[in-house]
Amino acid sequence: MKRCCINSVQTWFITGSSRGLGRALLDAALAAGDNVVATARDPQALADAAADRPDALLRLPLDVTDPDAAQAALAAAAAHFGRLDVVVNNAGYADLAPVETDTLDNFRRQFETNFFGVYHVSRAAIPVMRAQGGGLLVQVSSLGGRVGGSPGIASYQAAKFAVDGFTRALAVEAAPFGIRTLVVEPSGFATDWAGSSMTVHDIGEDYDATIGAMQRLVRTGESGAAGDPRRAAEIIVRTVAVSPVPSHLLLGVTAVERAIAYSEEQLAQARAWEQVSRSADFAEPYPVPLPGATPADAQ
């Protein structure tokens, strides 16, 4: 998949590159003729990458939860290739456990990777991109980071919501420096996200109908995940060349359908409660009837 519409070679910095979407994105960027800085906790897992273009790939160790390591990796990457055009925050994982019984340490460890890893790498990338006159930050979130509500992965989805809020503010702050942002929101893809990467903690009978059902869905679904990581990676590589880049990119049929349904439901609710919401301001009529309230309710 050679790029047809961009003349210059771009340099990518990708976290969590050893497998899944990160590895697919590494391969897609190299196939497009770009350079890639691939990071992983164990860069030896990337030994088979770029066999035909070894000079285009730099492998670096990186634990995204370590801010000093993030600074060092970004600096080494920029020094090696001279610039960083696209920084992709892809590293992340989810464990399955009820909020009630999950340990605080486990909940925080997930948040450290899924949110603060994004924070550390983004923060380290900003001065590099400012100095070179711009760049693109790609934050890999999920459909759950938009609609939420998946039982058993509260830490993961809370972190993804935080990534979205963080990126929205960062986009406004960094725009004057030529720095763009893109939040990628996939639905289910054929990666190891729900495989060995996911630890399933004690669920208990009380949560079988919710979290137990979630476990059975992601672990034993007969058809498997619908999304193709290679297609997703190629779409991302093509999308970063678009100007302007969309603020959010949904990937997968489920992502599109659930996001649209969620947005329509939110809009309908906001309109139904519009007069009640407006009545909180001093200048607005007050009180106003609640939607669906009967005369007896108002008394």
Of 85, 79, 71, 63, nearest to 15 (Cα)? 63
- For 137-182, how does the pLDDT look when each residue is reduced to its tens digit (9 = 90+)? 999 999 999 999 999 999 999 999 999 999 999 999 999 999 999 9
User: What does the angle CA 115 – CA 192 – CA 114 come to, to the nearest 5 degrees?
Assistant: 5
297 and 243 in a common domain: no
Asked if residue 6 belongs to a domain, the reply is no
Q: For residue range 264-276, list pLDDT tens digits in order.
A: 999 999 999 999 9
Alpha helices in the chain (DSSP H): 20-31, 67-81, 104-111, 117-132, 144-147, 154-174, 213-220, 229-239, 253-272, 274-278, 295-298
Burial of 254 (0-12, 13-18, 19+ CB in 10 A): middle
What mean pLDDT value characterizes the chain? Answer: 91
Q: State whether 261 and 246 are in the same domain.
A: no
Predicted local confidence at residue 3, as pLDDT:
52
Q: Residue 102: helix, strand or coil by DSSP?
A: coil
Shared domain for 199 and 175, answered yes or no, is yes
Sheet containing strand 135-140, strands side by side: 57-61, 35-40, 11-14, 86-89, 135-140, 179-186, 248-251
pTM confidence score: 0.92
Q: Are residues 272 and 150 in the same domain?
A: no
Return the pLDDT at 2: 52
In the chain, the number of structural domains is 2
Question: What tokens were used for 147?
Answer: 């609609």
pLDDT at 292: 85
Reply yes or no on whether the pLDDT at 117 is more than 50.
yes
Residue 194 and residue 294 in one domain? no
Output the CA angle 48-71-13, nearest 5 degrees.
Answer: 35
What confidence category does residue 36 fall into, taking pLDDT thresholds of 50, 70 and 90?
A: very high
Q: How far is Cα 248 from Cα 163, in angstroms, rounded to an integer?
A: 12
- Say which CATH number the domain at 28 has: 3.40.50.720
Q: Is the same domain home to 222 and 261?
A: no
Note the pLDDT of residue 200: 79
**277 and 160 in one domain?**
no
Q: What is the pLDDT of residue 78?
A: 98
How much is the pLDDT for 63? 97
pLDDT for position 86 = 98
Can you give the pLDDT at residue 219? 61
> Do the Cβ atoms of 9 and 55 come closer than 8 Å?
no
Structural tokens at position 168? 């929205």
Nearest to 90 by CA among 191, 21, 30, 34: 21
Q: Has residue 92 got a pLDDT over 90?
A: yes
Whether pLDDT at 257 is above 90: yes
- Mind listing the pLDDT tens digit for each residue in 172-211? 999 999 999 999 999 988 776 656 667 877 788 899 999 9
266 and 214, same structural domain?
Answer: no
Nearest Cα to Cα of residue 249 among 125, 146, 116: 146
Instruction: Tell me: do 273 and 165 sit in the same domain.
Output: no
Would you state the structure tokens that stand for residue 217, as one six-digit string?
């869905």
In a domain, residue 21? The reply is yes
Which is more confidently placed, 293 or 26? 26
Among the candidates 213, 228, 251, a domain finishes at 251
Residue 263, pLDDT > 50, answer yes
Show Cβ contacts of residue 54 under 8 Å, excluding neighbours closer than 6 positions. none
Asked if residue 5 is part of any domain, the answer here is no
Could you tell me the end-to-end alpha-carbon distance of the chain, in angstroms, rounded to an integer?
Answer: 68
Q: What is the pLDDT of residue 272?
A: 98
Task: With respect to residue 2, please indicate whether it lies within any of the assigned structural domains.
Answer: no
What pLDDT sits at residue 7?
Answer: 46
What would the pLDDT profile of 213-253 be if each residue is shown by its tens digit?
Answer: 888 877 655 445 688 999 999 999 999 999 999 999 999 99
Identify the residue with better confidence: 153 or 6.
Answer: 153
Count of C-beta atoms within a 10 Å radius of residue 202 = 9
Q: Is residue 3 part of a domain?
A: no
Return the pLDDT at 201: 76
Q: In terms of residues, how long is the chain?
A: 299
168 lies in some domain: yes
Residues 273, 167 share a domain: no
Residues 6+ apart with CB under 8 A from 57: 26, 30, 35, 36, 37, 38, 46, 49, 50
Cis peptide before 287 (omega within 30 of 0): yes
Is residue 39 classed as helix, strand or coil in its secondary structure? Answer: strand
Residues 114, 135 within the same domain? yes
Is residue 54 predicted with pLDDT exceeding 70?
yes
Let me know whether 30 and 168 are in one domain. yes
Amino acid 77: pLDDT: 98
% of the chain with per-residue pLDDT over 70: 91
The parent domain of residue 77 ranges over 11-251
Residues identified as active-site: 141, 156, 160
pLDDT tens digits, residue range 123-138? Answer: 999 999 999 999 999 9
172 lies in some domain: yes
